[in-house]
Amino acid sequence: MGGVSSTIASKLAFFPPEPSYQVDLDEQTQKLKLLGVSQSEKGEVSILQTKRGHYIFSVFVRNKGATMTLLYSHGNAADIGQMFQFFVELSDRLHVNVMGYDYAGYGRSNGEPSEQNTYADIEAVYKCLKEIYEVKEEDIILYGQSIGSGPTLELATKLPQIRGVILQSAILSGLRVMYRIKYSLWLDIYKNIDKIPYVSCPVLVIHGTEDDIVDISHGKKLWELSKMKYEPLWVKGGNHCDLQVFPQFFTHLKKFIISVERQSDYSKNVEVEESIIDLDYTLDITNEIKCRPSIEEIEKSSRISTEQKEIIPIRPSTDKKLKPRISFDKREKPRKSMDYFGKSRSSTDQSERGRNSIDRFGDMMRSVAMCNIDCLKQTLAEED
């Protein structure tokens, strides 16, 4: 039954575009590089092997002097080639490192996209950050856009010491994008509504008020259910994939980054006993990272992945809560922006917009699901 639900959900949720980039080996530096991508020299490319046997591509944009690193999970119908200029802008304007990656079946990554594959993908990228780039867990901010909120929140529930989570145009679950349902169903995917209460770090939610793909009610509900709420950003007039053109977008992101950075600095000066973490929530990533496998290995892996039936790992029960690494009540009162549990903007009083009827399903599919990357590309072109 689980395999059937995964197949159904994958057909509804994933729309990989044609790859927008090529990857080549620089003969002088012996490093991988993106081809056909503007400013590609600013990115460090790696090939990572996931625990499900796929090879996925990632790109790391380094910012000298940065203390925080964004692990960015992009939306649907996009790949790291199309998102690269946005990664560079995030790095420059927020003074952070940015790690982006392609899910299995996206860009030049092999395999087929599925919910469980995206979970394995983000785990491999997190392992790369820790072991290759030596980034500490407490210096990582997870950033999930649209469908990327799924792997982001899955990983966030397993890492109690991450510095923060950013959810942009996020979904409550796959089916809830199309239908108004009260309870999570067996065939649903990315059940973020059930996971968000178990995230034990500050959560920033950003959503457009005019989002016609993922209604703003998704963002409001996720913010409401967050354990450690940060002041949300409801972008008036913003749609699903144009939020970065609004002036308050980067301003609010910068405010959040500064806030969690100060939280990090304060934590280092406070003597805290180590938290005891339930072993069921300990992230188990034991596979080696192969940064440059041979072409034969990739082709062999691709053939095997299409022949073997996927085995979906069982995620630990969310009935068990993570014990936070430190209670906010034990610290000095943080900045007002970090203690934002009260009123949000007036737009939060608006009632949720209901979806029309089951006929909207056809319209949703024609909208190319979660994110139309053309909006982003056009925006970047205009800014250039």
Give the residue numbers marked as catalytic: 146, 211, 240
What is the C-alpha separation between 21 and 33, in angstroms, rounded? 10
- Those residues whose C-beta lies under 8 Å from the C-beta of residue 309, and which sit 6 or more positions away, are 3
DSSP 46: E
Is residue 360 within 8 Å of 177, Cβ to Cβ?
A: no
Is residue 66 within 8 Å of 38, Cβ to Cβ?
A: no
| Ramachandran angles phi, psi of 292, nearest 5° | -140, 70
Q: How far is CA 245 from CA 88, 203, 242, 300, in A?
A: 15, 22, 6, 43
Two tokens at 220?
């409001």
- Those residues whose C-beta lies under 8 Å from the C-beta of residue 325, and which sit 6 or more positions away, are 160, 161, 200, 272, 275
What is the C-alpha separation between 227 and 136, in angstroms, rounded? 23
- Secondary structure (3-state) at 72: strand
Residue 4 burial by Cβ neighbours in a 10 Å radius (0-12, 13-18, 19+): exposed
- Those residues whose C-beta lies under 8 Å from the C-beta of residue 10, and which sit 6 or more positions away, are 112, 113, 114, 115, 189
Is residue 123 within 8 Å of 286, Cβ to Cβ?
A: no
Nearest 5 degrees, angle CA 59-CA 87-CA 78? 80
Quick one: residue 95, left, alpha or beta (phi over 0 = left, psi -120 to 50 = alpha)? left
Sign of CA dihedral 249, 18, 111, 312: positive
- Secondary structure (3-state) at 150: helix
